[in-house]
A and B are shown apart, each in its own frame.
Chain A
């Protein structure tokens, strides 16, 4: 089912808005009307029209300005201008600026009907084209992970083959390479996909609480155990338990985990009874577990129990050919989330991304693009946007990778950067929020939300 195309009508004459709505609504359009050109410009991104009908002569802001704003913010949108007096000069100007057609009032409904039908047909065609494209792309994707490189295709193939059968699997690979994604894929492609997928980060659990977390406890088992509590194994019954950073598991817990895997039974701490559970365990580590076994830090029997299948996720540096596809996907995602008209990256920026070291792998690439998209002002990300979006630690890519994930300081850093940037732009625009929002590439409403979030004053002279 294809969505209804969105038609935006801008005319200072409300009667005209009503008339066009009356005509286009029954013709299958989702009609948005606006009697203020200024307002229409400010809300273009939110409205996201497929086609717009704009009156040429309006007080304050003219139709040509609305046309320009639409071309900038919503380049796919077709614009039809209309006027009460056919003015040849402005008609030529309109076509030069990319208007689709020019109608004079009184409206010729046959002509308007044809134009709208054309827009409708285009949308149907485009949807069909996208469907074929995503069908071919499907081959290169696995549960939202992108991997066109041979090395990832091999991994995806292995995951598809083992997911329906394997009772346990071990995912290995560097930090940020996408181990959790692979674990999720094993879950989603297996017979348990309707059931729970529970993640435990073994490096984040306090050693003394491990047993209780995993296996649960009964009341009075230890100080503070005021009630019975089910462990994660019981919660995940029927589904998949993902043990991230399994290499960090304390030795005592390793022994207990092994017993659960062997017997399929868990015993709550302090309880004499054991309970049958049916859980598929997928473990992940960025350590070389074999070496950990050799030096006695990890139980060999547990290692072999988990390592029924080893799924190695290659670092980003070994699959650089995937970078452009990952970049396209991430930029698309963040542009949509931040409501910005970013279409891609500049050639220099792409070279930069292709050649960077990426010690933090896909996660790092994603983080850098998220920041860059947030800060970018243009239609394509430039090298400057990217560098600006990188925390200093990453810029010196030779340094050792961070332990895991974004360090907490990053988000604060990002917030303060965003705040500073907003303040700078507002100052440059003398406090005019409409102009500042346009420059930041966000809607006025979004700017107000951001001002509120950063506790910046909402009213300043000049707006």
Chain B
């Protein structure tokens, strides 16, 4: 369990899940040659990393 406590962890996880969700929907819809596609991919990558950090902290 993190030092933040379960309530905050839960809320953080929710927020990151929202970012991830929108990124995935956009990546699904954007054409392959879209100029913003790589930007969205970066956001997605960062959100995934944040989620991983939260999860690994959870396991410790």
A→B interface (CB under 8 Å): 13, 15-16, 18-19, 22-23, 57, 84-85, 105-107, 109
A107–B10 CB distance below 8 A: no
B21–A106 CB distance below 8 A: yes
Specify which of B10, B15, B18 lies most central, judged by the most chain A CB atoms within 10 Å of its CB: B18
A16–B10 CB distance below 8 A: no
Neighbouring A residues of B14 by C-beta, 8 Å: 13, 15-16, 84, 105
Neighbouring A residues of B11 by C-beta, 8 Å: 13
B13–A109 CB distance below 8 A: no
Q: Which of A15, A22, A23, A84 contacts B13 (CB 8 A)?
A: A84
A265–B40 alpha-carbon span in the complex (Å): 83
Given A13-B14, A84-B13, verify A109-B25 contact (CB < 8 Å). Answer: yes
Q: Which of A13, A15, A16, A23 contacts B25 (CB 8 A)?
A: A23
Other contacts beyond A16-B21, A18-B18: 19, CB < 8 A: A13-B11, A13-B15, A15-B14, A15-B15, A15-B18, A16-B14, A19-B18, A19-B22, A22-B22, A22-B25, A23-B21, A57-B10, A84-B13, A84-B14, A85-B9, A105-B17, A106-B21, A107-B17, A109-B24
Q: Which of A16, A57, A85, A109 contacts B18 (CB 8 A)?
A: A16
A204–B11 alpha-carbon span in the complex (Å): 70
A23–B21 alpha-carbon span in the complex (Å): 9
Neighbouring B residues of A22 by C-beta, 8 Å: 22, 25
Which chain B residues in 10-40 approach chain A with CB under 8 Å? 10-11, 13-18, 20-22, 24-25, 28
Neighbouring B residues of A13 by C-beta, 8 Å: 11, 14-15, 18
A19–B10 CB distance below 8 A: no
A105–B28 alpha-carbon span in the complex (Å): 18
Q: Which of A57, A84, A85, A107 contacts B21 (CB 8 A)?
A: A107
A265–B24 alpha-carbon span in the complex (Å): 78
A22–B23 alpha-carbon span in the complex (Å): 12
CB distance from A28 to the nearest CB of B (A): 16
A85–B22 CB distance below 8 A: no
A22–B17 alpha-carbon span in the complex (Å): 14
Neighbouring A residues of B28 by C-beta, 8 Å: 109
Neighbouring B residues of A106 by C-beta, 8 Å: 16-17, 20-21, 51
CB distance from B23 to the nearest CB of A (A): 10
A105–B15 CB distance below 8 A: no
CB distance from A105 to the nearest CB of B (A): 4
Name which residue of chain A comes closest to B16, CB basis.
A106
A40–B16 alpha-carbon span in the complex (Å): 25
A109–B14 alpha-carbon span in the complex (Å): 15
CB distance from B10 to the nearest CB of A (A): 5
Neighbouring A residues of B24 by C-beta, 8 Å: 109
CB distance from A192 to the nearest CB of B (A): 57
A84–B17 alpha-carbon span in the complex (Å): 8
Specify which of B11, B14, B15 lies most central, judged by the most chain A CB atoms within 10 Å of its CB: B14
A15–B51 alpha-carbon span in the complex (Å): 17
Neighbouring A residues of B9 by C-beta, 8 Å: 85
Neighbouring A residues of B51 by C-beta, 8 Å: 106
Name which residue of chain A comes closest to B26, CB basis.
A22
A107–B10 alpha-carbon span in the complex (Å): 15
Name which residue of chain B comes closest to A84, CB basis.
B13
Neighbouring B residues of A57 by C-beta, 8 Å: 10
A109–B21 alpha-carbon span in the complex (Å): 8
Neighbouring B residues of A16 by C-beta, 8 Å: 14, 17-18, 21
